[in-house]
Chain A
Amino acid sequence: MIERACASALLRRFACELVGDAPPAPDLAAHSAADREAARLAWAARIVDEYRSVAVFSELLRLLADLEAPLPVLCAVQRLIGDELRHTELTAQVVDWLGGADDLAIDLGDIGLPAPEPGEHPASRARRIVGRELVVAEEESIYVLAAYRDAAREPAICAVLATLLADEVRHAAAGRAILAALGGADAELCAEMAADRERLRALYRDAACSGPGRALGACIERADLDAMWARSAPRALGTALR
């Protein structure tokens, strides 16, 4: 797990500017111990998911910088990395509310994507990251986040899920714009993206199996997800449900 504190006031100021003030910790004593524990583990896993995006989008920024991508594209990806760092801190704060992570080993090392395949051109690699991780993965997470946010009942938790959702909507939209700026997806990438989307939906469907911690954002039911998938296109979903 990364250190979230730092002795340097200057560096702390950078973190404060990016993350903002920590929301006050809610009183979660009304929730059962089982609910809180399930939520603590679920939110600890979210730290990993958000931090993975920091590593993945950082590789994308490096690729795009080397390829001399347009400034607005570089700015957009730089902003996405900041958002994911902020999400990492937000999810870690929720874990703190739920009892902390002192007894958890959270492995964030070497979390980026595997090395490029031999002969893979940097432009092709960049398009694959944008298509798979931004257009597909961020877009699919919109439905799931909306379902978890609607299922949650604890206001502070709902607010964190709403923040994540608002950012993912923008990330998915940015992904489509960046992919277009890079020349779009060829047939091979389109097929890869379609396979990713199918796999992600199956993964989310399997994970939507009820359980403890629903009010704290730790679980949803299949029906929650089906309703969200049936509802709307992701951009409209994010806007309408915000």
Chain B
Amino acid sequence: MSFHLALAFLLWRALSEQPEQPPPRPRPMTRAGTHWKGERTEPRVVKR
């Protein structure tokens, strides 16, 4: 019984662990705007 419990626990842990995601790379910029209060900042180029 304890063997099955241990196995179930290990399986649950393996499945629930998310692989660590690297932080998104900052996009290369050559002409960044100054940020004005209220200016939209979300990405404007998105892959469809």
A56 contacts across to B, CB distance below 8 A: 33
User: In the complex, A113 Cα to B39 Cα: how many Å?
Assistant: 6
Tell me whether B44 and A108 are in contact (CB under 8 A).
Answer: yes
B28 contacts across to A, CB distance below 8 A: 42, 45, 148, 207, 211, 218-220
Q: Which residue of B lies closest to A114 (CB)?
A: B38
Which residues of A200-242 are within 8 A (CB) of B? Answer: 200, 203-204, 206-207, 209, 211, 218-220
CB distance from A25 to the nearest CB of B (A): 21
Asked whether B4 is an interface residue with its Cβ less than 8 Å from the other chain, the reply is no
Asked whether A132 is an interface residue with its Cβ less than 8 Å from the other chain, the reply is yes
B34 contacts across to A, CB distance below 8 A: 132-133, 136-137, 196, 199-200
Interface size of B by Cβ–Cβ distance < 8 Å? 21
Number of A-B contacts (CB under 8 A): 98
Asked whether B30 is an interface residue with its Cβ less than 8 Å from the other chain, the reply is yes
A132 contacts across to B, CB distance below 8 A: 34, 36
Tell me whether B29 and A52 are in contact (CB under 8 A).
Answer: no
Tell me whether B30 and A211 are in contact (CB under 8 A).
Answer: no
Tell me whether B31 and A107 are in contact (CB under 8 A).
Answer: no
- Say whether, besides A44-B45, A108-B44, A114-B38, A207 and B26 are in contact (CB < 8 Å): yes
Tell me whether A207 and B29 are in contact (CB under 8 A).
Answer: yes
Which residues of A75-131 are within 8 A (CB) of B? Answer: 103-108, 110-111, 113-115, 117
Tell me whether A49 and B29 are in contact (CB under 8 A).
Answer: yes
Q: How large is the interface on A (under 10, 10 to 19, 20 to 34, 35 or more residues)?
A: 35 or more
Q: Which residue of B lies closest to A164 (CB)?
A: B30
Which residues of B1-48 are within 8 A (CB) of A? Answer: 25-40, 44-48
Tell me whether A113 and B32 are in contact (CB under 8 A).
Answer: no
Task: Render A47-62 as a binary contact track against B, CB cut-off 8 A, 1 for contact.
Answer: 1111011001000000
User: In the complex, A143 Cα to B38 Cα: how many Å?
Assistant: 27
Tell me whether B35 and A45 are in contact (CB under 8 A).
Answer: no
Q: List 17 A-B contacts (CB under 8 A).
A: A41-B45, A42-B27, A45-B45, A49-B29, A49-B30, A52-B33, A105-B46, A105-B47, A106-B44, A106-B45, A107-B44, A132-B34, A133-B34, A138-B31, A199-B34, A207-B28, A211-B28
Smallest CB-CB A-B distances: 7 pairs: A114-B38, A196-B34, A207-B26, A49-B31, A107-B44, A141-B31, A132-B34
Q: Besides the contacts A44-B45, A138-B31, what 12 more A-B pairs have beta carbons closer than 8 Å? A: A41-B45, A48-B45, A49-B33, A53-B31, A108-B44, A110-B40, A114-B37, A114-B38, A137-B31, A137-B32, A209-B25, A220-B28
